[in-house]
Amino acid sequence: MLRFGLIGTGRIGDMHARLVAVQPDAAVTWCYDVHADSAARTAAATGARATTDLDALLGAEDVDAVLIASPTNTHVEMILRSAEAGKPILCEKPIDVDMARVEECRERLRAFDVPLQLGFNRRFDPSHAGVQKAVAAGEIGDLELLVITSRDPGPPPPRPILEACGGLFRDTTIHDMDMARFVLGEDPVEVYAMAANRVDPIFAELGDVDTAMVVMRTASGALCHINNSRRTNYGYDQRVEAFGAKGMVRSNNHRPSEVSRHGAGGTGTRDELLYFFIERYRAAYEAEIRDFIDRVTAGKPPRVTFEDGRRALLLSEAALKSYQTNRPVEVDYT
C-alpha cells in the first residue's frame, strides 16, 4: 500500500486524491492546503487527515510519497522540501515558469536520491499514446509532419490564475511541447512562433496572448506544427496527427457518446466534445497515477522526468522569444 500525502487540494488536487483513493494498493493519508476548508473537504472525501502544516505531512510516518498539486509558483519549494524529506514525488506540470528557478532546482536536487515524476498526463492518454506507439513502431515510415491541436473551451478566471500561470506558451503550449518530444522521439532544435490576441482583452492587459501557432524542426528534418487557442465554442479540442511516407495516424477528440443522429434537424449530428481537461483526460490522469504507483513500488525510475519538464519549458521559452522577436530561435538544451 503506497500512502500519499497530497499537497494542494484545489480542483486538480482534489481530482488526483479521488483517483488515488480508488486504487487497490494506494491511499491518501494526508491532505495539505493553506486553506483549511479546502484541505478538510478533500480529506473527508478520501478518509485522510487534513492539515495546514506542511511539516506535519512531510514528517508523517504514514506518508510514503507526495503528490504536488499546489499553485505553480510553489512547485520548486514543494519539490525540494519533499525531496529533503526523502519522499518520492509526483508533481503537476510545470516545474516553474521561471527558467532560472528550474535550473536552480535541478542543481539542488542532485543532493537527493528520490524519484520525481512530472505530471505530463497527456503521455498517458490512450489515444495520444497510441499515436506515439504507431510512430515508434514505424507504421507510417519516417515521421515527416506532426500536427498538434490544443484549444481550450474558455480562459481560466482572470485573477489570480492568469496572472500566475506564466502566459499561454508556458501554461498551455508546454503540454504540447512535451507531446511533440514524446511523439517525435527527438528534440526540436529550431522554433518559430506567431501569436495574437483574438479571444479576450484581459490577455493583452496582462501582457499575454490567447492564440498561437508554433512551427518546430528537429535535427532529422521532421516538422511539427502546434496551434493553440484559449477559446472554442464546441468543447475541448485535442488532436494529434502524425504523417509519414507510409500513411498517417491520428488521435481524435472525445465525446460523451459516439451516437450520430440523422433527421430533419441535421445529418450526422453528434454530441458536443467533452468540455474540459478533467473530463477529457480522466483516463490519462488515472493511468499516470497507476504508472507512478507501479514504478515506485517496484523501485523503477519514473517514466516522465524532471529533465522532460525542463526541456518542455525550454521549448516554451524559445516559442515566446520567437514571438517577441519575430525570428526563428535555435534551442540550446545545455
Domain that holds residue 242: 123-285+311-330
Residue 296 placed within a domain: no
Note whether 273 and 187 are same-domain residues: yes
Note whether 155 and 260 are same-domain residues: yes
The full DSSP string for 279-315 is HHTHHHHHHHHHHHHHHHHTTPPPSS-HHHHHHHHHH
Residue 249 placed within a domain: yes
Note whether 104 and 131 are same-domain residues: no
Q: Which residue among 87, 114, 141 closes a domain?
A: 114
Note whether 108 and 136 are same-domain residues: no
CATH of the domain at 98: 3.40.50.720
Q: Are strands 260-263 and 188-196 parallel, antiparallel or unpaired?
A: unpaired
Q: Which residue has the cell 494526508?
A: 30
**The predicted structure's pLDDT at residue 159:** 62
Note whether 253 and 130 are same-domain residues: yes
**The predicted structure's pLDDT at residue 278:** 83
Q: CB-hemisphere CA count at 13 Å for 52? A: 7
Q: Would you say 297 and 306 are in contact if contact means Cβ atoms under 8 Å apart? A: no
CATH of the domain at 249: 3.30.360.10
Note whether 31 and 149 are same-domain residues: no
Length of the chain: 334
Note whether 174 and 319 are same-domain residues: yes
**The predicted structure's pLDDT at residue 214:** 98
In the chain, how many domains are there? 2
Residue 160 placed within a domain: yes
**Prior bond of 24 cis (ω within 30°):** no
Alpha helices per DSSP H over 25-165: 36-46, 54-58, 75-84, 99-109, 126-136, 163-164
Note whether 322 and 215 are same-domain residues: yes
Q: Would you say 241 and 147 are in contact if contact means Cβ atoms under 8 Å apart? A: yes
Taking the chain (334 residues) in runs of 10, the rounded mean pLDDT of each run is 97 97 98 98 98 98 98 96 98 96 98 97 97 98 98 79 81 96 98 96 91 98 98 94 98 85 85 83 97 98 98 98 98 95
- pTM score, two decimals? 0.94
Q: Are strands 260-263 and 223-229 parallel, antiparallel or unpaired?
A: unpaired
Note whether 109 and 151 are same-domain residues: no
